[in-house]
Structure 1
Amino acid sequence: MLRTLVGFGAFGLFWGAWGATLPAVRTSSGVGDGELGIALLMVGLGALASMRFTGYLIDRYGGVVLPVVVVLFGASGVLPALADSVVTLSAALLLLGATSGATDVAINATGSHAEAVTGRPLMNLAHGIFSVAVVVASLGTAALRTAGADALPVLGGVGVVIVIAGVVVLAPGARENLRGSTEPKPKRRLEPVLLIFGGLCALAYVVENAWQSWSAVHLDTSLGAAPGLASSVPAVFAAAAATGRIAGNALLRRLRPVNLLVAGGAVAAAGSITAAVAGSAWLALIGIGVAGLGTSVCAPTIIGMAGAWAGPERRAGAISTVTTLAYLGFLLGPAAVGAASSVWSLPVALAGVAVLALVVAALGPVAARQVEREPAR
């Protein structure tokens, strides 16, 4: 359990610092806005390239994969601060994305394995630790940037912390067997159940990242909020997500996962529609917080359900499939909102996000019934 929580904490520590230090990376590398946008695409491409392969490695080699990919992730996180052109920045972000995707799969597989071994819910708590680390790292990095720190000392310091965590905390459990047996497994087709789980998780991530990316813009442009209020919204959303995940983990001691998924989707839909149609910035802020509470439990619950369905022999491979599909939703969500807002308006586009949250709530029981009919073989 400790390895899972430390892994998620290290993951959130970097991404919280990354968002706050990105302007400094842009300045130090000397790229323009368009070039930065192209370079940032490399993060997603690198992650998509590594996630399925990481699942195979975990199913083949077990717990040793986690500390290796975390150490590589911590080291790769420093590279963007050393870039001096769009080419070197793109190469650094491609490597960062690959190690980030590998770490994402490894920590989720380790968390699902811990749930199966202990019989206790963990995934929502682990994702909650990630959200807490994002908030703490964002605020800490903002303070360092205010004091004049550049990208290299910030990302270098975070990288050192992550590498130490990988060596001191994660490596001692590297012999942990995350596989069902040491027998080689035959190749299997891509089961429809995993496509259902991956699709649901992608929708959940569309809702989550849409609000994370567009909430401040919504308050600023749609509602004319003061700059300080608008800029605080992502932190409010992240804090609500952390609260929802920690509370959701406790609720799983009393609720079935599918019930928590349905409730989370419904709450996310209510918060999303409130924020989208709000006539005041403060009401929208409340709605965004409610949306964060609800959507926060959806993705970790779905990933946990997929791991429980797959069983020990195929858990990592199943989770890598689900998280790869889900990552597509995470990447495409903000772009989809932007495209919809250009056709209609930003409030209308965000109201569509509420509809997607309702779809997650409605299809949760369908996925659960499909699992009962098609147990892993």
Structure 2
Amino acid sequence: MSEIKDSARSVPARVSAPVRAALPAARSRAARTAVRGVFFANGAAFASWAARVPDVRDGLGLSAGGLAVALAGLAAGALAGLPLAGVVVARWGSRRTLIGGAVLFFGTLPLIPSAPGLVPLTVAAAMFAVGNSAVDVAMNTQGVLVERACSRPVMGGFHAMFSLGGISGAAVGGLAAAGDVGAGTHFLLTAVVLFSVCCAATIFLLPDAPDTGVAGPAFAFPPRGLWAPALIALSALMGEGLMNDWGAVYLRDVAGSSAGAAATGFAVFSAGMVAGRLAADRMRSRAATDRFVQCCSLLAGAGAVLALVAPSPGTGLVAYALIGLGLAPVVPVAFSHAASHTPRGPGPSIAAVSTVGYVGFLAGPPIVGGVAEAAGLRVTMVVLLILTCALSVLAPRLGRA
């Protein structure tokens, strides 16, 4: 076995996990910090867009229907970009994919508020989402490579940085809106700063050589071994989507909370997500993957039951903290498990699981909203409870896979 040097260029491109584990500690720490920076930048950029959606809408004078069309373009770009990104990562490596995706992601962000009409806005939103998908798959692939190099779980910490980036991006977006800073100026400054972070990070990422043997269509259903983590990701991300879109509404209309308390409930859920992901890596190293996911599902399920049977402002906050803590570690675990099925090239596996998962994230809230229109908002927590039960049932499949 040849000696592995500190320089990023001297690290073998496509090597086994035991060799990666032999990386010098300083090199592993540098790669880990770099991936953290990319996750943070990705979360901050997307949250910046989300925080200024009303300003983008008002700038073009869009109706609710017009905004829905633009958001549909965003969703379509995200879903189309994920499997495509998996193919690109396999053929050209995650570092190159990250750079190309970042150019599209951050380059499109300032164009969104300057779109002259609905059609250009929809196209810009779709391209923004495609770039986000490319960055998403590439950074998670890098996360897997660093996890192998560190020989211990670290994916939860990376996803915690994404959550912290989202909180930071939303906070800055709120301050910019309150200070009458135009969305165009805000997005341009955000793109420049965060793109610089990603460019600096690529210097320290672990290289993974293209797999010239990869061939096939840009989209394919997950193979048999990936359906368990894919369905687990779908259940967890659908639960996150429900909490994002309906959590505050549930507290307001069902639990009888004030507007401020309802907003606090979402903040508590978000804080629980960050705390759960920060603690997940240490807990994962002490428990089998299937048992760990089952424990997470029980914690989130307990929160759903509490919110369902005892809806009140106080119990709602406790319930939302439990739900956030329980759901937070599941998706990082699903990605890590999926990557283990293709150790030489984890990108396509992560893309396949991400695609199925984000279908739940995007489609779940509007479906539940339609059901709630007829059955009442309590159905939100009923669906969430069903999703946590599905996680518990699917978790043993991870142990047998």
Q: Same fold (TM over 0.5)?
A: yes
Equivalent-residue separation in structure 2 for 1:348 and 1:215 (angstroms): 12
Partner of 2:390: 359
Q: How many angstroms does 1:276 deviate by?
A: 2.8
| Residues 125 and 245, structure 1, Cα contact 8 Å, conserved in 2 | yes
Partner of 2:183: 151
Partner of 2:15: none
> Given the alignment, which residue of 300, 312, 315 partners 2:332?
300
1:129-144 alignment runs, 5 A limit? 129-144=161-176
| Residues 47 and 102, structure 1, Cα contact 8 Å, conserved in 2 | no
Q: How many angstroms does 1:185 deviate by?
A: 3.6
| Residues 101 and 131, structure 2, Cα contact 8 Å, conserved in 1 | yes
- Where structure 1 has 5 or more consecutive residues not aligned to the other structure, the ranges are 372-377
The question of 1:113 aligning with 2:145 is answered: yes
AA aligned to 1:308 is: S
AA aligned to 1:3 is: A
**Residues 228-277 of structure 1, C-alpha deviations (whole Å, 9 max, x = no match):** 11123322221110110000112122222222211111111111221233
Equivalent-residue separation in structure 1 for 2:206 and 2:91 (angstroms): 12
Partner of 1:222: 254
Q: How many angstroms does 1:186 deviate by?
A: 5.6
1:14-93 alignment runs, 5 A limit? 14-62=45-93, 63-93=95-125
Structure 1 moving runs of 4+ over 4 Å:
186-190
Deviates more, 1:182-191 or 1:64-73: 182-191
**1:309 match: secondary structure:** coil
Cα distance 1:186–1:154, how it changes in 2: closer, same or farther (>3 A)?
Answer: closer
Deviates more, 1:239-248 or 1:26-35: 26-35
Partner of 1:281: 313
AA aligned to 2:132 is: S
Partner of 2:381: 350
| Residues 113 and 178, structure 1, Cα contact 8 Å, conserved in 2 | no
AA aligned to 1:64 is: R
**2:287 match: secondary structure:** coil
**Residues 345-372 of structure 1, C-alpha deviations (whole Å, 9 max, x = no match):** 1112322211211210221112321x1x
Q: How many angstroms does 1:96 deviate by?
A: 0.9
Structure with bigger helix share is 1
Partner of 1:122: 154
AA aligned to 1:98 is: V
**1:273 match: secondary structure:** helix
Cα distance 1:192–1:30, how it changes in 2: closer, same or farther (>3 A)?
Answer: same
Equivalent-residue separation in structure 2 for 1:191 and 1:64 (angstroms): 26
Q: How many angstroms does 1:196 deviate by?
A: 2.4
| Residues 239 and 327, structure 2, Cα contact 8 Å, conserved in 1 | yes
> Given the alignment, which residue of 206, 228, 239 partners 1:196?
228
Identity across aligned pairs (percent)?
25
Count of equivalent residues:
366
Equivalent-residue separation in structure 2 for 1:291 and 1:311 (angstroms): 32
Cα distance 1:178–1:301, how it changes in 2: closer, same or farther (>3 A)?
Answer: farther
> Given the alignment, which residue of 210, 213, 216 partners 2:242?
210
| Residues 248 and 260, structure 1, Cα contact 8 Å, conserved in 2 | no
Q: How many angstroms does 1:100 deviate by?
A: 1.2
**Residues 278-324 of structure 1, C-alpha deviations (whole Å, 9 max, x = no match):** 33122112101110110011111111111123212x31111111111
Q: How many angstroms does 1:207 deviate by?
A: 0.8
Partner of 1:375: none
| Residues 40 and 165, structure 2, Cα contact 8 Å, conserved in 1 | yes
**Residues 101-159 of structure 1, C-alpha deviations (whole Å, 9 max, x = no match):** 11111111111121123212111111111111111221222122112222112222211
Equivalent-residue separation in structure 1 for 2:150 and 2:303 (angstroms): 34
**2:300 match: secondary structure:** helix
The question of 1:163 aligning with 2:195 is answered: yes
Equivalent-residue separation in structure 2 for 1:109 and 1:175 (angstroms): 10
Partner of 2:213: 184
Q: How many angstroms does 1:93 deviate by?
A: 0.7
Partner of 2:8: none
Equivalent-residue separation in structure 1 for 2:206 and 2:272 (angstroms): 36
Q: CA RMSD in A?
A: 1.8
AA aligned to 1:204 is: A
Equivalent-residue separation in structure 1 for 2:308 and 2:136 (angstroms): 31
AA aligned to 2:231 is: G
TM-score (normalizing by structure 2): 0.87
